[in-house]
Amino acid sequence: MVITRRWAAFLILVGVWTWVIWPRFGVAIYNDDRSFSGGTPTSFLWVHALLIAASLILGSAVGVLGVRAWRAAGR
């Protein structure tokens, strides 16, 4: 499969965007009143933590693919 530099740059930007947005969302979820009940984490926190983790993993994978495609397109 051949990916152009334009698409590679897009993939890299998606990976960066993921790391800019999701950690901030994680802080907002952590500080939400529904995240803890009596000092223990609630399912609200756990579900959002799993969603954030999955998004960061996928965003990282997309970013790595973008970097690899960028390097390959330069050859």
Q: How far apart are alpha carbons 14 and 36 in whole angstroms?
A: 31
CB 55 within 8 A of CB 49: no
pLDDT in tens, 10-59: 999 999 999 999 999 999 999 999 999 999 999 999 999 999 999 999 99
Task: Give the pTM.
Answer: 0.89
Strand partners, 36: 41
Q: How far apart are alpha carbons 19 and 50 in whole angstroms?
A: 15
Residues with Cβ within 8 Å of residue 13, at least 6 apart in sequence: 66
